[in-house]
């Protein structure tokens, strides 16, 4: 019997102990975490969406410190340029190309895919991190509810377009950054875009994250073997601008025990580098360990539900299915 695993399970079921700074500090000690060498990603290319703030910025800094060429994908040229200049000053080498993309626009994402395919000979890691919470229901330029577009449909289009490049890069990995809040919701399979019930921004965000994780499992099932691995992670409760803006009351209450952004991003960097997960696919991680996909009865998604979600997102993306279900 592994007493460390039992202790970890006890921390996990406590929620507050698991998601707060307490959880990561205890697990670091329990499992004697090690860290990659400073050149672990030298010669490798990583793409990060939403790299200028919060978890994305922390992950970008960590990956850059390991020698990676980091493609910075975001919608603000000013903020991306400021980040690139900061990274250049820190590392002395300009290996941080900027690609402008509005994740609320499928046209913009497809243009970004085209540019990356033209300029990058390899892609070792794709990190789907960009996100947003909308207080009111709005639709993007493609007529898709904005939360679903940014968190689900646009990342699906990005990954679909870059799949050939990932498949041609040995050992490639795809990492989706989700939220522990997704445990609380089951998406309405008949109304992913909130057209028939009153819109709730936080619930819409949690449902979209739930769909995101379901698609990670489908990608892993549909692209097995030598293709890239597909995994999701959630960071616990980290002190980020997004949390402070979206949940100010929760932020004020929990701030003393919130993780730093770097602690929240630790599992992203670990999934991008560690040899032990090189062939692991279709899992959800917190603090370097796989976690259950479901916590609350009634929120579970069946295999048939996940297939239905996949087909719905393919239809919203308006392009051929990039990975038809195996026969």
Return the active site residues: 205
- Max CA separation in the chain (angstroms): 55
H or E element: which one contains 24? helix 21-31
Q: Are 238 and 261 in contact (CB under 8 A)?
A: yes
> Residue 282 is encoded by which pair of tokens?
């279709």
Q: Give one DSSP letter per residue of 249-309, joined into a string.
A: HHHHHHGGGPBPHHHHHHHHHHHHH-GGGTT--SEEEETTEEE-S--STT----HHHHHHH
> Residue 187 is encoded by which pair of tokens?
């998406």
Give the span between the Cα atoms of 278 and 69, in whole angstroms: 19
Sign of CA pseudo-dihedral 90, 96, 101, 104: negative
Q: Are 279 and 244 in contact (CB under 8 A)?
A: no
Radius of gyration of the chain (CA): 19
């Amino acid at each position: 019997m592994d007493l460390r695993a039992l202790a970890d399970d006890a921390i996990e079921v406590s929620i507050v102990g698991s998601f707060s700074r307490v959880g990561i500090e205890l697990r670091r000690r329990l499992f004697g975490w090690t860290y990659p060498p400073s050149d672990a990603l030298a010669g490798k290319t990583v793409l990060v969406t939403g790299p200028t703030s919060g978890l994305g910025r922390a992950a970008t800094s960590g990956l850059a410190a390991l020698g990676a060429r980091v493609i910075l994908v975001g919608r603000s040229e000013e903020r991306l340029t400021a980040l690139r200049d900061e990274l250049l000053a820190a590392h002395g080498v300009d290996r941080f190309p900027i690609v402008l993309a509005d994740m609320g626009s499928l046209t913009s994402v497809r243009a970004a895919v085209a540019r990356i395919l033209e300029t990058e000979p390899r892609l070792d890691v794709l990190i789907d991190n960009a996100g947003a919470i909308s207080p009111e229901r709005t639709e993007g330029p493609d007529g898709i509810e904005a939360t679903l577009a940014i968190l689900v449909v646009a990342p699906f289009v990005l990954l679909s377009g870059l799949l050939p490049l990932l498949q041609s890069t040995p050992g490639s990995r795809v990492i989706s950054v989700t939220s522990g809040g997704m445990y609380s919701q089951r998406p309405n399979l008949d109304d992913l875009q909130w057209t028939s019930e009153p819109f709730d921004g936080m619930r819409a965000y949690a449902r979209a994250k739930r769909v995101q994780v379901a698609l990670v499992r489908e990608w892993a099932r549909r692209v097995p073997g030598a293709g890239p691995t597909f995994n999701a992670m959630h960071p616990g409760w980290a002190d980020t601008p997004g949390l402070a803006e979206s949940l100010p009351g929760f932020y004020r209450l929990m701030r003393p025990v919130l993780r730093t952004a770097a602690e929240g991003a630790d599992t992203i960097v670990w999934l991008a580098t560690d040899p032990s997960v090189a062939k692991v696919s279709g899992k959800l991680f917190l603090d370097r360990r796989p976690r259950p996909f479901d916590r609350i009865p009634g929120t579970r998604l069946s295999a048939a539900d996940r297939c239905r979600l996949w087909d719905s997102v393919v239809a919203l993306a308006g392009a051929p299915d990039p990975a038809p279900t195996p026969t």
